[in-house]
Structure 1
Amino acid sequence: MEIFHPDEKRAQTLAGFMVGSAGIYPSMPQQHRDFFAGLPSFYIATLDDHGWPVATVLSGPPGFISTVDNSHLRINSPRREDCPALSALQSGKELGTLGLDFSNRRRNRVNGVISRMDKNRLELAVKQSFGNCPKYIQRRKITPRQSEFEAIAHLSGLDSKAREMIASADTFFVATHAHAGSSTGGVDISHRGGNPGFVKIVGETLWVPDFSGNRYMNTLGNMLAEPRAALLFMDFVNGDVLHLQGHTELNWQVDAQHKLKGAERFWCLHVTSAWRFPGLLPWQGSDIEFSPATLSTGIWA
């Protein structure tokens, strides 16, 4: 069975390398199952009724994620009716998920199809399960915080609060999709990290450096197939979550305009819609240390 879809292979070629094999499994290894069971949060992405990627973060006490067997993952978490990502969930939909432990910088991804769901629980039939290296993940100590329900705020553009969150971010998540329904594609959500300031804002466009990684090219390959994407930023102090949607463009060559230490290429998101959930996170993350694996100096030329 093919592991990568055609546009992932094309992205690998454009980046100047080929991936002959990869640790991508059709079911979850036991270590992945144990890892998910201990997480306090989980990042998910799907498509809305118009085919746009939408993403959010789910939280709960360790154990709110469980695995019935190595092919089915369950998430028990209340779903907000005003969240576009959660309202898009239904049986048969593609779902990309990511578990990340900020304390040790470990992350694993599971992609598949929603096989069952009810009011507060959904079950994922696994198609792909794989780990990623700890590069560019900022270590954080996660502690509970008091959170109050606040309504979603739809933005007409990037307001000053959104720009401040993006400009100071060392972490965000990107949701993409391609070839929905195939054995080698679907919805995906991935982590991106760097020194604060590694995302550059130019008007309503965000420029993002692409550093050396696992070479799977899942995200960029999906962007080649379908340029629409969603980004998820978080304020680890006050719990705000910012969601952006837009069209992406890829820049395969580093030039004078787009230059940042460690970047091998760049991509940008032209923002078309945005919303913010004030105080969504029931936890906060305090820096333990800055990750020495981050290559960027964080300062754009």
Structure 2
Amino acid sequence: MSVYHRGELTAQKRAGLLDEAAHVSALISRRMPRGAVMFLAEQPMLVLGAADGAGAMWVTMLTGDPGFIRVTGPSTISVAAVPTAGDPLRPVLDGPARVGLIAIEPGTRRRVRMNGTARPSADGLRIDLDQIYGNCPKYIQKRVPVAVAASPSPPRHGSELSAEEMGFASVTDTFFIATADPDGNADASHRGGNPGFLRVLSPTRLRWPDYVGNSMFNTFGNLELNPRAGLLLPDWWTGTMLHLTGTAVVDWDTDAELEAPGAQRLVDFTVERVVRIDNASPLRWTEPEFSRFNPPVPTAGSGGGG
């Protein structure tokens, strides 16, 4: 029985990568690999995606001293943290929620991806995992965190990006995306590239290239069946978190390489709601060392677009 649902299989077939996806499916486990136990214990952050009560997808970042993520069973972790006040996922995690997770260590370009069901616990969350697997290190910018005292600001809510937020998004090198299948099973994924790989087409429309990945097409498989998606754009220098929710559509037909070198296809995202929280994270990060796998980004005025 395939570990992939029908949307993932459809996306893999569209991409002509069914055989490759079947091969890498052996990496997916329900039991925590031994090497991941220590890796998780060393991390100061965890990215989490889930749907709110209306079905809108959001992504957030949980932080804590190393050790705040603990493996407590073969398929269970505890997380001694909850989202900050005003975070769109704060009320969602007050009860059971299906979540997608990424533990990512930019300093070594390692990451572990997980999904399962989160429930509130005495010190944060207990998460029973359905799937656990490693991801390749491509497109992760190397940076190292330093913890500082931080007091989150009240959130700014909107239905479109402000001019300042558009400027920030246009130079980001990393964001995270959350999607879910029609049954609500959530997934969280990383996207990275050189500054400018995420294009801001308007206050409510973003576009990014899809580069060669692990062939699983978890995100695109969910989007085949459910277009709702959430984005998190972290400001690595100030701790600000820019949360977006809306819908995403994959363009499988355009010659993406003409618009973005290295692109296999393009993704268009329509912004429906914005939540920005300044100083949301106590982590500040060093200047990035960009991944050698990042394709070049066309300069203004070159390449396709629209």
Please name the residue that 1:38 is paired with: 42
Q: Which amino acid aligns with 2:66?
A: P
Q: Give a deviation string over 1:32-56, Cα, whole Å, max 9, x none.
A: 1211111000000111111111211
Please name the residue that 1:108 is paired with: 112
Please name the residue that 2:7 is paired with: 7
Q: Number of aligned residue pairs: give it.
A: 296
Task: Map residues 235-250 of structure 1 onto 2, 5 A cutoff.
Answer: 235-250=235-250
Task: Map residues 1-301 of structure 1 onto 2, 5 A cutoff.
Answer: 1-18=1-18, 19-21=21-23, 22=25, 23-114=27-118, 116-118=119-121, 120-180=123-183, 186-203=185-202, 204-255=204-255, 259-297=259-297, 299=299, 301=303
Match of 2:46, SS? Answer: strand
Q: Assess if the C-alpha contact under 8 Å between 2:47 and 2:101 holds in 1.
A: yes
Q: Assess if the C-alpha contact under 8 Å between 1:30 and 1:70 holds in 2.
A: no
Q: Which segment drifts farther, 255-264 or 105-114?
A: 255-264
Mapped to 1, the partners of 2:111 and 2:233 lie a distance apart of 17
Deviation at 1:10, TM superposition (A): 0.2
Deviation at 1:205, TM superposition (A): 0.7
Q: Which segment drifts farther, 31-40 or 186-195?
A: 31-40
Q: Which segment drifts farther, 145-154 or 262-271?
A: 145-154
Mapped to 2, the partners of 1:239 and 1:170 lie a distance apart of 15
Match of 2:53, SS? Answer: coil
Question: Structure 2 regions of 5+ residues with no counterpart?
Answer: none
Mapped to 2, the partners of 1:281 and 1:256 lie a distance apart of 35
Are residues 262 and 43 of structure 1, via their aligned partners in 2, closer, same or farther at CA, if it must alter by over 3 Å?
same
Are residues 13 and 199 of structure 1, via their aligned partners in 2, closer, same or farther at CA, if it must alter by over 3 Å?
same
Q: Assess if the C-alpha contact under 8 Å between 2:256 and 2:265 holds in 1.
A: no
Q: Which amino acid aligns with 1:9?
A: L
Q: Assess if the C-alpha contact under 8 Å between 2:159 and 2:271 holds in 1.
A: no
Q: Give a deviation string over 1:174-197, Cα, whole Å, max 9, x none.
A: 00000436xxxx100100000000
Q: Which segment drifts farther, 155-164 or 77-86?
A: 77-86
**How much identity, in percent, do the aligned residues show?**
32
Deviation at 1:202, TM superposition (A): 1.1
Q: Which amino acid aligns with 1:58?
A: L
TM-score, with structure 2 as normaliser: 0.92
Q: Which amino acid aligns with 1:200?
A: R
Mapped to 1, the partners of 2:45 and 2:74 lie a distance apart of 20
Q: Which segment drifts farther, 165-174 or 137-146?
A: 137-146
Question: Structure 1 regions of 5+ residues with no counterpart?
Answer: none
Are residues 219 and 298 of structure 1, via their aligned partners in 2, closer, same or farther at CA, if it must alter by over 3 Å?
farther
Mapped to 2, the partners of 1:256 and 1:235 lie a distance apart of 28
Are residues 264 and 78 of structure 1, via their aligned partners in 2, closer, same or farther at CA, if it must alter by over 3 Å?
closer
More strand by share: 1
